[in-house]
Every structure is written in C-alpha cells, then in structure tokens.
C-alpha cells in the first residue's frame, strides 16, 4: 500500500495531540535526546508562541531511540503512535494544561489510546501498487505495508468486498467525527452480502 506510506510518514513527523490550543503562551521543556521517563534536572525551557502547545515525542528507528520535547502548533497534534514498515515507530502527545506540562512520560501518555491496523488488499492485479497481500485473510501483522495508527474517538474496523471475482479488504480506523466521510464503523453486511464490515474497540483488534 504505497500511497498511505507517504502520508503516514508526514503524519508521523508531526505526531502530537489534536483539538487543543491555549489562549496564553506556555512555558515548555525544550530538549533533544532527553530520556523517557523524563528527568527535568538541568533541562532548558522555552516560551511557546501564543496558541501553541507543549509536546513530547519519541522516534524508534532500528535500534536507535530518540526523545524530544518542545512546543508545536495545536492543529498539528494527534495523540498516539504510528508504526510504519521500514521507517520505525513515532509516538507523541501534546498538552496545554499548565506550564512545563510536557514532563509526563510518553509511554504513559499513549498507553490507553486505541490503535488500529491500517492497510488495504485487492486481488485485482492492476491494483498491486497499493495492495498488501498481508492485509488479506489470514492477516499477517508482520507483513509488508502493514501500518499501525492511532484511532481518535472511533473504532477499528475491517471491510471486505467480494464482487465479480475481485476481493478487496481494508483495515483502518473509523472515526466518529462528523467530518469523517466514511462515517462510523457499523457491523453489517449489505443485502447481497457483497460487502461486510466488522468493528471492534480493543487495541489492534482489527486483525481478524
């Protein structure tokens, strides 16, 4: 699934919490290569522009792990982790609940966030540029082009369509946000059982 790969990388580079934005400037810890759990001893602080939020993020690429803290624009924030094949795992959170609020552990901040598998498969040979066989049944979580991404205010889901000899399987997050064009996840099959959808609310549960 090549197309989502590029968007996921962009998303991972700005991975922090959404829907927040303070009206006053915040003081935030600012550091690169600061461990998690965080020790603020000797760490510098910065005053963020008004409307920005404090953040903390981690990047795990191969055997190299890097932790960073600072501030970012509120509308660039989404909580949780993105895991992308051959790229690594990117985790983060943002906060606006007081000065120096980005001292919290990144691992603790993302622990209870729902994450879903994200991938697509099509048996149509012409769709091979965005199709991952590992996304089909049986599912292979360690296969190529299998992503993990946070699912804010929604459910994980699997949609499977069989039509005129072509099978299409999609695993993703279905958000309950009104702006989501796909709408919420609803477990059902259509009248002809051409397309069926299953839904679940446990972490990485859309592997079935």
Regions of the chain where pLDDT drops below 70: 1-24, 177-183
User: Domain extents for the chain?
Assistant: 2-110, 115-200
Q: What gap in Å lies between CA 174 and CA 162, rounded to an integer?
A: 21
Q: Provide the pLDDT for residue 19.
A: 37
Q: Provide the pLDDT for residue 11.
A: 41
What would the 3-class secondary structure string for 131-176 be? CCHHHCCCCCCCCCCCEEEECCCEEEEEEEEEECCEEEEEEEEEEC
Topology adopted by domain 2-110: CD59 (2.10.60)
Fold match flag (2-110 vs 115-200)? yes
Distance from chain centroid for Cα 169: 20
Q: What gap in Å lies between CA 40 and CA 100, rounded to an integer?
A: 10
- Report pTM: 0.80
The secondary structure element, H or E, covering residue 10 is helix 2-13
Q: Provide the pLDDT for residue 181.
A: 55
Q: Are 18 and 79 in contact (CB under 8 A)?
A: yes
Q: Provide the pLDDT for residue 143.
A: 92
Q: What gap in Å lies between CA 172 and CA 148, rounded to an integer?
A: 9
- Helix residue ranges per DSSP H, 61-115: 106-110
Q: Provide the pLDDT for residue 22.
A: 46
Altogether, the residues listed in the chain come to a count of: 208
Q: Provide the pLDDT for residue 25.
A: 82
Domain 115-200 has CATH 2.10.60: yes
């Amino acid at each position: 699934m090549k197309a989502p790969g590029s968007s996921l990388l962009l998303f991972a580079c700005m991975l922090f919490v959404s829907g927040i934005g303070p009206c006053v400037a915040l003081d935030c810890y600012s550091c690169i290569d600061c461990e998690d759990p965080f020790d603020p001893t000797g760490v510098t602080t910065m005053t963020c522009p008004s409307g920005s939020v404090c953040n903390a993020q981690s990047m795990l690429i191969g055997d190299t792990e890097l932790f960073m803290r600072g501030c970012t624009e509120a509308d660039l924030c989404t909580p949780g982790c993105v895991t992308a094949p051959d790229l690594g795992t990117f985790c983060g959170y943002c906060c606006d609940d007081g000065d120096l609020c980005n001292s919290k552990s990144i691992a603790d901040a993302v622990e209870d966030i729902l994450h879903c598998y994200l991938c697509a498969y099509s048996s149509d040979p012409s769709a091979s540029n965005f199709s991952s066989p590992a996304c089909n049944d049986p599912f292979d979580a360690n296969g190529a082009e299998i992503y993990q991404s946070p699912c804010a205010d929604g459910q994980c889901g699997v949609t499977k369509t069989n039509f005129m000899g072509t099978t299409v399987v999609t695993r993703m997050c279905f958000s309950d946000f009104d702006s989501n064009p796909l709408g919420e996840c609803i477990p059902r099959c259509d009248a002809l059982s051409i397309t069926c959808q299953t839904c679940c609310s446990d972490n990485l549960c859309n592997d079935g």
